[in-house]
Structure 1
């Protein structure tokens, strides 16, 4: 029997923001809740298997989903006790992943509002396609 190989090409069809801040994860999630007007809740940790470590890396994850799933927001910590989620961006504290039909509008709104917050040092647009470890952002 001939062997068939399936090729999986994930789509990175989301907006990605990198955030440098001095606030805690819960306070940052509260700020995003106020900006987006969506109910944000703490989800199960995002787990990544790291070949360099015998243990699984766990990263804090908050999420907000609209009922009709037109829009979803994920707040993902870049740092854990076991290292970084995206090692090429060690300076970033949190990533915001925005998916859905209204992602462009909400991304602009979040960037504008966050840049006015005292505890937010920087907000970066990041193209996930350019990241070496982009597969770690698939939720």
Structure 2
């Protein structure tokens, strides 16, 4: 057994996120389990870049209201207690709405060479605004 009493909060890297995002690592991928998990907190309007995961990703929302969007334009609103599963290879993004904080636990299974995430370009302000509009329609 290993008891970890706390992990430091780090500001998420600007090259992968828009806005103010904070991370607390829960588990880094390591053999044999290869699970990567983090508590991720998004301020209003903050979001990830487009990205995909070799083995998919599970997001469990712990607080607030957010969005998850895919390249085909699908957008879902997520709230505390809800889970979103993104399949392997699906390009997507996630973050807070424009008016509310959102926190989730992000979980991925690593590929043996890290967490299996492929980071892409930022979600533009126009794409973010379109996602908000899609939620309201």
Query: Shorter-normalised TM-score: what interval?
Result: 0.3 to 0.5
TM-score by length of 2: 0.33
- Larger fraction in helix: 1
- Larger fraction in strand: 2
